[in-house]
Structure 1
Amino acid sequence: MELSALNLVPLRSGQNFHEAIEDMVELAQQLEGFGYKRYWIAEHHNSKTIASSATQLLIQHTLSQTNTIRVGSGGVMLPNHSPYLVAEQYGTLETLYPKRIDLGLGRAPGTDMQTARALRRSDNLNPDFETDLAELESYFKDSSSVHAYPAAGLDVPFYILGSSTDSAHLAAKLGRPYVFAAHFAPAAMEEAIRIYRQEFTPSAYLDKPYVILALNAILAETDEEAKVLATSQTQTFLSIVTNAQKGLQPPKASEDDVWRHYVAAEKVPHFGPVAFTKDSLIRREKAIVEQMSAVTLVGSPDTVARQIAQLHSRVQMDEIMANSFIYDQTAQARSYELLAQAIQKENSEG
């Protein structure tokens, strides 16, 4: 099983955007040293606590500061962009950094609907994702009457991102690798991956299914220490649910401390990837947070190795892409290092 990482580029409490981006680059350099396969950067808009809005610029900056690790988009929310411009941008990146670019593609807006209108300059918030994908592909194949240079003729791998069965059907139909977003929306995980594998049609790009499972991972030397670090993740999801707009917070002594004093949700937050409703959210914050973070590896390397084995018995994945909401940067790097050790253990025993 391969191992990769996802970064939303959150601002730690007290940080500015420049400092968060510096942390992003430093983590990429550390993961390269740990042997991670790829490092993807998310796309989010209209959030004062997340720095990953201009994803392609962050990818270029990361590539310029690393040597071997693949860097990509987790993902480009294609309805927000002109496929032609995406081809030009990522064709340029591939030209500058050959064989190191991944193009993860999603259909969600990565923001609220009002911001989506500002991005798209249109009230059409339900574009045809499959048609946009085909157009994007035509520019790299150079089969369109309009040519996108320097993308024309370049081989930049596409990955279909999703958190629903719709994306699974599409990735299978197109014969593309499938990335499931279990790090925040795990409800359809087993069904979506089953559909993708059952319906997969071999293509010029892929002869058999390939599943990347995005999840959360928080490791430390002991289970107890990891559980404390994980309270920062709980606070992050709670901040999303309650629309608190807080940066990544220092850990609490325990999960109970997180829930002892918090400001309950009073209105439905604008979080693009998950459609909250008032009836499902108000006074149910804890249940929603637990649901969103259900696919999280927490513990020592031995404990997490067992968790990975259990997860693998539920879903057949070829690669894990780990997101890590850990406040302390040194502890975050150590968590990723320990995760690499846990994966090595699982691979050797599996």
Structure 2
Amino acid sequence: MKLSILNLVPVREGQNYQQAMASMVTLAQYAEQIGIERYWIAEHHNTKNLASSATALLIQHTLAHTETLRVGSGGVMLPNHSPYIVAEQYGTLETLYPNRVELGLGRAPGTDMRTAYALRKGREHSDFPTEIAELRGYFENTNPVSAYPAAGLKVPFYILGSSTESAYLAAELGLPYAFASHFAPRMMEMAVEIYRKQFKPSPHLAAPYVILGVNAIVAQTDEQARQLATTQTQFFLNVVTNAQQNLQPPLASADDVWKRHLSAQFPPHFGPVDFQEIPLYNQERAVVEQMTACSLIGSSASVTHQLNTLRDQVHFDEIMAVSYIFDEQLQRLSYKMLKEIVDKI
């Protein structure tokens, strides 16, 4: 099994964007040092607590500050971009940093619909399989026009997805499949099973290859890991409520996250009524818990057990971990401990 890292480039409380990008590079350098398989950077727009809007630029910046690490897009949200421009950009990156660039491709906008419209002016309708074929054509130099310096270069493609539709597509194209179970685990087992059963070997890949996104927080003790994970809980609560707060320091416990949210959002007006017992006020917690169901949280022993259980549940070849840990030193330690666990399995 292999271990990779996904980075959304979150802005920690007290940081500015420049400092968040510096943290991204520092983590990449550490990932290279401990032998991480690949380091992908996400694409998000109109999200003020994430600095990952100009993905290609961040990839270039990361490549420039590392030596051997493979760096890719997790992913390029292809409907947002002209395939021709994507080919030119990633062909340029491949020319500058040979055999280190990867193209993860997704069909989601990575933003809200109004922002998606701003991104896609004049391209409101897109067809993901057709755009992938067009993009491939620029690298193979088989389209009516050429995209230099991409023409003739071999940049590996990966299909990203969170549904069965993406599984069918990845299988049909004979490409590696990265499933976004780190935030959308509901269809994980079904999608991976479809991909493996329907996979058609291609010139790019002889056998199915599954990368599974997971949230991962490893610490010296289960108690410390659970406390660190309150930052993750706050992050996903921000996603659900669209609060867009910067990445927050950990609280004492998960219950403290929800008590603080309850007091901030829903002050009681009827005396001794426990609002936590009313289903309406637990909806956000239920959604967050559903989104984060694919999380490895605990000591080395606990995470080893959780990872083995996950392997029994679904057949994958690689995990791509994202760790919402506020303290950067503890985040690096978490990845180191996770790498040691993966190496033993």
The TM-score with structure 2 as length reference comes to 0.94
CA offset digits 1:203-231 (Å, max 9, x no partner): 00001000000110000111111111000
Question: In structure 2, what is the equivalent of residue 243 of structure 1?
Answer: 242
> Within 1, Cα distance between the matches of 2:260 and 2:112?
28
How many residues were matched structurally? 331
> Within 2, Cα distance between the matches of 1:232 and 1:345?
28
**Which has the higher Rg, Structure 1 or Structure 2?**
2
> Within 2, Cα distance between the matches of 1:87 and 1:281?
47
**In the alignment, residue 73 of structure 1 is paired with which amino acid?**
S
> Within 2, Cα distance between the matches of 1:316 and 1:261?
39
The range that moved more, 236-245 or 166-175, is: 236-245
Does 1:107 find its partner at 2:111?
no
Deviation at 1:344, TM superposition (A): 1.4
Question: In structure 1, what is the equivalent of residue 44 of structure 2?
Answer: 44
Deviation at 1:302, TM superposition (A): 1.6
> Within 2, Cα distance between the matches of 1:199 and 1:103?
22
Question: In structure 1, what is the equivalent of residue 343 of structure 2?
Answer: 344
CA offset digits 1:8-63 (Å, max 9, x no partner): 00000121100000000000000111110100000000011000000000000000
SS of the residue aligned with 1:206?
coil
Question: In structure 2, what is the equivalent of residue 327 of structure 1?
Answer: 326
Does 1:187 find its partner at 2:186?
yes
- Identity over aligned residues, as a percent? 62
Deviation at 1:122, TM superposition (A): 3.5
**In the alignment, residue 53 of structure 2 is paired with which amino acid?**
S
Native 8 Å contact 1:177 1:209 kept in 2: yes
Superposed CA RMSD in Å reads 1.3
Question: In structure 1, what is the equivalent of residue 94 of structure 2?
Answer: 94
SS of the residue aligned with 1:306?
helix
Native 8 Å contact 1:264 1:285 kept in 2: no
Consecutive unaligned residues of structure 2, counting only runs of 5 or more, are: 267-278
Deviation at 1:161, TM superposition (A): 0.1
SS of the residue aligned with 2:150?
coil
SS of the residue aligned with 1:188?
helix
SS of the residue aligned with 2:158?
strand
**In the alignment, residue 39 of structure 2 is paired with which amino acid?**
Y
Question: In structure 2, what is the equivalent of residue 151 of structure 1?
Answer: 150
> Within 2, Cα distance between the matches of 1:319 and 1:102?
15
Deviation at 1:281, TM superposition (A): 8.6
> Within 2, Cα distance between the matches of 1:240 and 1:92?
34
The range that moved more, 298-307 or 24-33, is: 298-307
Question: In structure 1, what is the equivalent of residue 10 of structure 2?
Answer: 10
> Within 1, Cα distance between the matches of 2:341 and 2:135?
38
Does 1:25 find its partner at 2:25?
yes
Equivalent positions of 1:1-350 (< 5 A) are 1-122=1-122, 124=124, 126-262=125-261, 263-264=264-265, 283-346=282-345
Native 8 Å contact 1:223 1:300 kept in 2: yes
Consecutive unaligned residues of structure 1, counting only runs of 5 or more, are: 266-279
The TM-score with structure 1 as length reference comes to 0.93
> Within 1, Cα distance between the matches of 2:123 and 2:152?
34
Native 8 Å contact 1:160 1:179 kept in 2: yes
Native 8 Å contact 1:305 1:345 kept in 2: no
Q: For residues 15 and 169 of structure 1, do their structure 2 counterparts lie closer, same or farther at Cα, with a shift above 3 Å needed? A: same
> Within 2, Cα distance between the matches of 1:281 and 1:10?
30
The range that moved more, 94-103 or 255-264, is: 255-264
